[in-house]
Amino acid sequence: MILGDVCTRNCRFCGVTKGKPSITNIHEPEKIAEIITKIGLKHCVLTSVTRDDLSDGGAKIWHDTIVTVKEKNPQITIEALIPDFNGDVDSLNLVIASKPNIISHNLETVRRLTHEIRIKAQYDVSLFVIKTIAESVIKAKSGIMLGIGETLDEIKETMDDLLQQNCRIITIGQYLQPTRNNIPVVKYYTPEEFHEIEQIGLQKGFLHIESGPLVRSSYHAEKHV
C-alpha cells in the first residue's frame, strides 16, 4: 500500500486509519521497487489510501511507482488497485500511462448503499473511473463485498453496471467487520450462495469471477493478467 497508511476518506466498512496524512515520501517509488526485487515477486498488487489532500490525488507517485517497479523488475506483472481520484481524468490518465497489466477500482457495494458506507465516494464516479480504464489499453477489474444489506437484484444490477463499462473481471467476497467502530455484518453468505452468484455473473458475460467468503481484491490476482 503506497502513499502512506492514513486515508482522507472514512468509509464505514474499512479498517484503515483515517485522518490527515503526513508528507508524501517522494522516494517511495524506488523503495517499493527495491523491496519487490528483494522479495522476488512475479506479480504484485499495488494499492493506496485515498489522498484527497493532494492536488493530483497521488497520481504522480502512482505513476512513478509502477514505472520504477517495471524498470527494476522487467518480468513482473502489476495490478494497480486505485482510488477514484475524484474522477479526475488527468490523474487517471497518468496512472494508465504507466501501463500496469490491470487497473482495478472497487465499487465495494451496490448503488443504494454506496453513500451510506463509502460516505464521500459516488457510485457513478466509480463507474466513470472503471469506464475510463476499460476504454484504455489496460484491462479493468472491480470488486464488491456482500453482507452489508444488499439484495440479489441489486447485486445483479451492479454486475450489469460493470459490464456496461466493459469491466469483465470481478471479485466478490464476504464483508467482515474489521473493528467495533465499523458497520456490522447484516448477512453471512454460504459458499453455495457465492457459487450461485458466480454462475449468474458468468452467464451475464464476466470473463473472470472470484466469488467466495474469503475472496478479497487480490485473491488469485495473477490469474487475471
What are the residues binding ligand SF4 (CB under 6 A)?
7, 9-11, 14, 16, 49-50, 83
DSSP letter, residue 89 = H
CB of residue 204 to ligand SF4, shortest distance in Å: 26
Cβ neighbour number for residue 203 with a 10 Å cutoff: 9
Least distance CB 77 / ligand SF4 (angstroms): 23
Q: How far is the CB of 55 from ligand SF4 (least distance, A)?
A: 18
14 vs 36 by CB, closer to ligand SF4: 14
Q: CA torsion 213→216→217→223, rounded to 10°?
A: -80
Contact, 104 vs 143, CB < 8 A? Answer: yes
Q: Which residue lies nearer to ligand SF4 by CB, 72 or 111?
A: 111
Closer by beta carbon to ligand SF4, 21 or else 100: 21
Cα–Cα distance, 47 to 203 (Å, whole number): 30
Minimum CB separation of residue 14 from ligand SF4 in Å reads 3
What is the DSSP track for 120-133? T--HHHHHHHHHHH
When the beta carbons of 20 and 38 are compared against ligand SF4, the nearer one is 20
